[in-house]
Amino acid sequence: MRAKIFSREEHITRLLGSAYDRELTFPHIFKDSKRSIHPVLIEVNGRKHVVVGDFDSAAHQAAKQNIPFSTFGRYFSWNHPAGAVPPSFAEAVWAAAGSDGLEVEADMPVGRVDQLAAKGDVAVFGEVADPPVHLYAKSRAELEAVWASTRDADVPRLTPFVSGLRFGETLVAAMSAAPLGFEVLDALAEKAGLDAILVTAAFDAEMFTGLTRQTLGDHGATALYVRGAADILVLSPLPIERADFRPLGTAACAADAVAAHAKGAIGFQRGNMSIGAYRRFEAAGVRFTDATMTLRRFFDERAGTDLLYFITAANAVLAGIEHANAYIRRTVAGGTLTERDVAAVYHQGVDDFAAGIGMQDRIHSYFDIIHPGERTLLPAMAGDYPVLPGHKTIKYDMGLLVTDSTGVVRGCSDIARTLSFDVDLQAAHDRLRALLVDELIPSLMPGMTGEEAHARGVAVLRPVVDEMKRIGMLHPEMTIEGYTRDCGHTLQRQTLATVHFMPGDTGTFHAGMLGCTEFVWPIDDKIIACEDGYYVTPEGAIPFTI
């Protein structure tokens, strides 16, 4: 008997509850490919089983019923044995299914179906909608003009705050750097051998249409970029009545429209497009090539153009954490404080910061990771769990999205901190943070690879080994070479990037790009995390969170 694999979110929510869904971390982070990281439900012979990423498995603490689950991948911890290889998504699913074949829902992303099919027989069940679409031309030049004008209008309101940062003068100048447009994507697409790219993720399509992701989602709209063309083709099942969208008629379906308007190698988002839709495009003669990394690199490359939005997001997080920490210190002794209480107070601090710099209603929640090390070492979303004075460490890893005046997301944050009531643990956190901003970030030079940046991060950590052992943050036999997780990454409108400071990462970053550096140190029942933003100048990187 074939095992059925359900990938729609509602199946998981119905089975495990809304609290479980709310506490999944990575589906919040993966804005262009949420369903490629979401848990799946397996049903075979009346038996139910969930497969979830190790990094999201803490959410099972909130599950409304005890459904067996297994994990794929692994989130770094010093407690993991060196050299252990975790199962992949496909390996975990096939092992849990215990059958000769699988049937997957038609809305499962192509990338996941390909992974499963590489290890056995996979069939598809169900259908995905395939409505007629209205076609519109949206001028690339108009989009670029809006990017530049909205940014330039926001520079004056941010200048007083940014001027007060350590590298304020350099950062203020960089906020008004010459804007980068679609010429960046033209070059990347040519290098990748792509003639066109179909952008189906609403979050990414914001930048190709000028519509917000909410509007794009409501309309079911997508965007077709053709390399070098003056216009973006917008495909929408519902009419779009705006003067800046030039009507081009209709098509029987999206596949017919793409086949008629794009030739050659057409890119798509493998982690976003469903297998059902993919097969319809194939039937229409469209042959796709994965363009996920090309699109992410485009957003990576032009992120520095929108530096002010990243500075806003990162420093709003720091203001929120400072506000939340003050609240914790005042109230934790009462014994009734929860992680969600802390998150609510954190967002009050964020809102106060936004009002102070004139960015009210422009800063929005992305992800709120708040938890004591005693609850989990995994990156868990804030839940209804107590925060107690006896907890050794309380970790924050906070994401915010910042929009321009049209509502389009232009920047995000990925900033981490730890609060500890233990003097030694707090001092260790503060020292790691100082190493980030005073040593690691200044050592990052244009043209470096992710692997080189990681090696530099490990070297920066080497002097703290003895102290970390003394306070119980390393076991006696451990060495700093065991720090195999990333020490940072580049950053774009979401935290998914093209360069990670990891062993073996040969991707490079250059002047004008930005990102974050981080030291995350989980062991036993304690976790220290610190993360700061950087901007790469021709002379090297500088922090924008101090």
Stretch 326-337: mean pLDDT:
91
And the tokens for 231?
Answer: 């216009």
And the tokens for 6?
Answer: 């359900």
Architecture of domain 3-125: 3-Layer(aba) Sandwich (3.40)
Q: Are 463 and 469 in contact (CB under 8 A)?
A: no
Between CA 394 and CA 388 the distance in angstroms is 10
Between CA 16 and CA 450 the distance in angstroms is 38
pLDDT of residue 134: 98
Structure confidence by residue, pLDDT tens digits, 467-520:
999 999 999 999 999 999 999 999 999 999 999 999 999 999 999 999 999 999
Between CA 198 and CA 272 the distance in angstroms is 11
Identify how many contiguous H helices and E strands the chain contains and give both numbers: 19, 21
pLDDT of residue 80: 86
Between CA 104 and CA 87 the distance in angstroms is 20
Structure confidence by residue, pLDDT tens digits, 226-262:
999 999 999 999 999 999 999 999 999 999 999 999 9
> Which residues are bridge partners to 46 per DSSP?
none
Is the pLDDT reported for residue 100 higher than 90?
no
Between CA 164 and CA 162 the distance in angstroms is 5
Look at strands 121-125 and 101-105 and give their pairing: parallel
Residue 537: band (very low, low, confident or very high) from pLDDT cuts 50, 70, 90: very high
Is the pLDDT reported for residue 451 higher than 80?
yes
Q: Where in the chain is the domain with CATH 3.40.350.10?
A: 3-125, 133-290
Single-letter amino acid code for the residue at 84: A
Q: In what order do the strands lie in the sheet with 231-236?
A: 246-251, 133-139, 231-236, 222-226, 196-199, 266-268, 288-290
Is the pLDDT reported for residue 33 higher than 80?
yes
Cβ neighbours for 173, distance < 8 A, ≥ 6 positions apart: none
pLDDT of residue 35: 93
Between CA 477 and CA 399 the distance in angstroms is 35
pLDDT of residue 334: 84
User: 300-543 maps to which CATH number?
Assistant: 3.90.230.10
Architecture of domain 133-290: 3-Layer(aba) Sandwich (3.40)
The whole-chain average pLDDT of the chain stands at 97
> Which residues are bridge partners to 367 per DSSP?
399
Stretch 258-271: mean pLDDT:
97
Residue 82: band (very low, low, confident or very high) from pLDDT cuts 50, 70, 90: confident
Structure confidence by residue, pLDDT tens digits, 281-317:
999 999 999 999 999 999 999 999 999 999 999 999 9
Single-letter amino acid code for the residue at 316: A
Structure confidence by residue, pLDDT tens digits, 83-92:
789 999 999 9
pLDDT of residue 482: 94
pLDDT of residue 268: 98
Structure confidence by residue, pLDDT tens digits, 168-195:
999 999 999 999 999 999 999 999 999 9
And the tokens for 250?
Answer: 């209709």
pTM value > 0.85: yes
CB atoms within 10 A of CB 511: 16
Which is more confidently placed, 110 or 79?
Answer: 110
Percentage above 90 pLDDT, the chain: 97
